[in-house]
Amino acid sequence: MKLDKAIRRVIPSSSRLSYNPIFKAVVDSFDLVPKLVYEELSKIPPNHMRIRVGVGNRIFANHVIFITGSKDFWMHAFHSGLCRLDSTIVDIGCGCGRYAHPLRDYRFKSERFTGKYIGVDIDEEMLAWCRRNYDAERFSFYQSKHASKAYRGAANGNSHYQLPVADESADFIFSTSLLTHVLEEQLGNYCQESFRALRPGGRMAMTCFSMDHPPPTYGGRHTFRHRIANAYVESLEVPEAAVAYEEKFLFAVAQAAGFRTTEILEAPGDWQPMLLSRK
């Protein structure tokens, strides 16, 4: 929609806007009719939370995106052996459960997700929604204490965050659009913690904005014209709103964390290539 695109150009961070009570009331009103008509939509978070985790330019009609947006990721993850239905999976930057949603509801005959899903995010409002709407037997959610100008968290002044996972206990650790919102120190922190928490042979998969494979919006909505150390940022006012890195730097960070192999998965027209590392 043209209106959506105009709004996104004027406002550097839609996530910040999603905390405004008036904005919340307006965008959440677009859920009233669809959730009454379609039962499956009653199980997804309110619109202001969906906007906060990213809906492209579909600010007012993004229900289908939330439900189907992660299916290709999970098809690749299970097909490639990155995880199984009984795996311990850690989602860093889980938001309001966009990637947990398909696993919660998956059922084919008697088959379902029986593993452990650990979601980490800085936003307590979204975490609280997840805790109310996902069963505690399989899903748990924890707050990271990192600070961000784009998202509201509970920063404690400690620059290092430890994942709530024991050493070498996770099968698969991933993030979708986390590295697009963190600066260099936090990027290194999450890579180091992923290495610590993964079992030998486990994989870390993190999507990112790449200066080597820029998104289709590069030169328009995204320019990444500012530098903060190794990070290319869109806005100095809200640097975490959109962050890109050179792939050689991402490889160096993964190698420094201890990963044995690292590769970039990308395709023409990709918004976010994936950094895939093996312990």
Q: Are residues 28 and 83 in the same domain?
A: no
Identify the pLDDT of residue 13.
Answer: 55
Identify the pLDDT of residue 151.
Answer: 55
Identify the pLDDT of residue 53.
Answer: 86
CATH number at residue 215: 3.40.50.150
Residue 155 has pLDDT above 60, yes or no: no
Identify the pLDDT of residue 17.
Answer: 79
Place of tokens 């906060």: 52
Q: Are residues 120 and 241 in the same domain?
A: yes
Q: Of 36, 67, 98, which residue constitutes the final position of a domain?
A: 67
Residue 150 has pLDDT above 60, yes or no: no
Residue 2 has pLDDT above 70, yes or no: no
Identify the pLDDT of residue 138.
Answer: 98
Average pLDDT for 221-227: 90
Average pLDDT for 239-256: 95
Place of tokens 């998104």: 215
Identify the pLDDT of residue 4.
Answer: 46
Q: Are residues 7 and 121 in the same domain?
A: no
Q: Are residues 61 and 73 in the same domain?
A: no
Instruction: Give the whole-number percent of the chain exceeding pLDDT 70.
Output: 89
Of residues 202 and 146, which shows the higher confidence score? Answer: 202
Average pLDDT for 199-216: 96
pLDDT in tens, 123-145: 999 999 999 999 999 999 999 87
Residue 109 has pLDDT above 90, yes or no: yes
Closest CA to 104 of 142, 61, 74, 63: 74
Q: Of 67, 83, 103, which residue constitutes the final position of a domain?
A: 67
pLDDT bin (cut points 50, 70, 90) of residue 220 is confident
Cα dihedral across residues 162, 170, 120, 255: positive or negative = positive
Q: Of 28, 44, 67, which residue constitutes the final position of a domain?
A: 67
Residue 196 has pLDDT above 60, yes or no: yes
**Average confidence score pLDDT of the chain:** 89
Q: Are residues 41 and 83 in the same domain?
A: no
Q: What ranges in 136-246 are assigned the alpha helix state H?
A: 184-197
Identify the pLDDT of residue 1.
Answer: 47
With contact defined as beta carbons under 8 Å apart, do 52 and 82 qualify?
no
Structural domain count, the chain: 2
Q: Are residues 245 and 113 in the same domain?
A: yes
Q: Are residues 195 and 268 in the same domain?
A: yes
Q: Are residues 48 and 163 in the same domain?
A: no
Sequence-distant (6+) residues with CB within 8 A of 52 are 14, 15, 18, 95, 96, 123, 126, 151
* Identity of residue 54: G
Distance of CA 48 to the CA centre of its chain: 16
pLDDT in tens, 21-68: 998 999 989 998 988 888 888 889 999 999 888 777 788 888 888 999
Identify the pLDDT of residue 176.
Answer: 93
Q: Which of 48-62, 164-178, 218-232 has the highest mean pLDDT?
A: 164-178
Question: Which domain range does residue 15 map to?
Answer: 2-67
Q: Are residues 36 and 105 in the same domain?
A: no
Q: Are residues 8 and 56 in the same domain?
A: yes
252, two tokens: 């160096």
Q: Are residues 98 and 226 in the same domain?
A: yes
Q: Are residues 236 and 140 in the same domain?
A: yes
Distances (CA, A) of 232 to 214, 236, 248, 258, 269: 11, 10, 14, 24, 20
